Structure formats: structure tokens, C-alpha cells
Structure 1
């Protein structure tokens, strides 16, 4: 974990702690990296509820209630799936903010339509949901680290936009 990610996690914590809110994560390609970054911050138990790693499509369906039709129509690495992942994560507990990540970290698994480095991230705060796609370069670790940073960055932006 690099200094940028540590700083972003601490900044997210400060924003959430100030507002008395909690975050939860639903991760695939990052393997729990967003949750790891968050829980590396002292005092994160005040603002972090839980993290769910759903690597397989079956896990996304059973743990996060992602619809099988969504997975079949759009694939796991899609806007529709990460949005459903955030909803499922919020329904699991008492957090108000969810971060979801699904992507192709590589080195294999990419296609012409969905190349290695394609990552979808979504953030949901109560009823507001935003999703963005990214195309990161680098090796598997670099793609994962960039995904973690963007997951945290987007959550901060959402919380600071006075929703």
C-alpha cells in the first residue's frame, strides 16, 4: 500500500467520522484492498462497517444479490454489476456509503471489448449511485492499486459534494 492510498483512506475516514457515517465495501479484482486500506487507519472501527470480497459471479449473486440476468447481459465487469454490488452491500448492514469494484487486473482475462486494465467502480450514498469506468495501465498489482485509490477518491468526492 502506497502513501497516496494511506492518505486517501485517512481523508475518507475524517469525512465520514465528522458526519457520523459508515462505509462498506464490495470488492472483486481488488481482493479486499479497499477494505485493507481503510482498516489500516487507526480508529477506522468508528466509520468502517464491513467488506465483502465477491470474486466469482456466484458469490456476487449469493452475497450481494446481483441478479443473474445482469451478470449474463452485461458481465461482471460492468456499470450495471457494480451498481448492484453497492446496493447489495448496503442491504447487508447499517452503513450509509458503499464502494464497489470489479475489473480485469490481468495479465490474462481481457478481451477486445473488455481489455486488461478495465475497472468499474461504483459509489452509493443512500439512494444516490455513481459509477465510473477506468482503463489502467501497468501490471496486475499496479491495476489493483490504481483501482483502490480511485475507489477511495470517488468516495471522498461523493461525501464532500454535500449530498
Structure 2
């Protein structure tokens, strides 16, 4: 059985950029250079760990028995910040063994003016430097991503409940005739 691990992208930049902007407004002007960089850095570091984990002897032995790699799925890859390229996340996260979900508008933009080349494993040092700079500035990625996870789970649960409610309602109306 194949599976993916969903990894939300633009939501990370939206949340972290808000914290960066607060720090910049409070006087830490150097952090401004990190605006719009966190999500890609976070994804690249995660992809590096993905490669390490699934490349270990233990998993290679499992693959020989038929196990499949759980691939990262880049979700929320439309750019929310209009100051950034509309294909920023798509172009930056192209690599083997990954899946990318694209809204129609982002797909159209990529087909129109995007560049398809492997980029995901590029600039790993810059990615780790970005995450370390955030930590040094007191921006707590663990807290931000935990909140994003909590909000995301609630949103998905609410959507699921709404679907179940709609199905139940439709079923009840059909039973009544």
C-alpha cells in the first residue's frame, strides 16, 4: 500500500512571516531577509531527513520485502503573499519521491512560466541557517507548527463532520421519500 505524509507549505510562511514582521517592527531589522524563506527551508530540511530515514539499512531491508516509501506530499503550495512568485513553492520543492498538490491557478501559472528542474535538495545549508536564525531570534518553530497542526486537524475534522452530516441529512430525506 502506498501512502503520503502531508506537509503544508505556505501556511508555515504565513505564520512565521507574521512573527518575523513583529520582530522587525520591534527593531530586529536583520530578520526581514528571512521573510518568505521559512516554509521552503523547513520542507528542504524535512526532505533531507526523509532521505536519511528511508535510506537506512533497516528500511532498505523492508523494501526488499515489499515495503513502500511513504512520500512527502507538499500541500498548500499556492503562494499567499502577492509579493512572492506565484510558483515559488512549486519550483523550490521539485524532487524525487515527492507529491505536490496544486490548485488549478497555481498549476496554470507553473505550466505558463514555471521551471521544471530538481531543486528540493539545493541550498540545504541555507535552509538550516534560516531555521537556526529563527531559533536564535526567539521564533519558536515547534510552537508555530504545533499550532498549525492543531488548527489543521480541527479544520479537517470540521469538514469531515460536515460531510457526514450532509450524507445523513440526504439519507434521511431519501428514506422519507
Larger strand proportion, structure 1 or 2? 1
**Structure number with bigger Rg:** 2
TM range (shorter): under 0.3
**TM-score normalised to structure 1 length:** 0.28
**TM-score normalised to structure 2 length:** 0.26
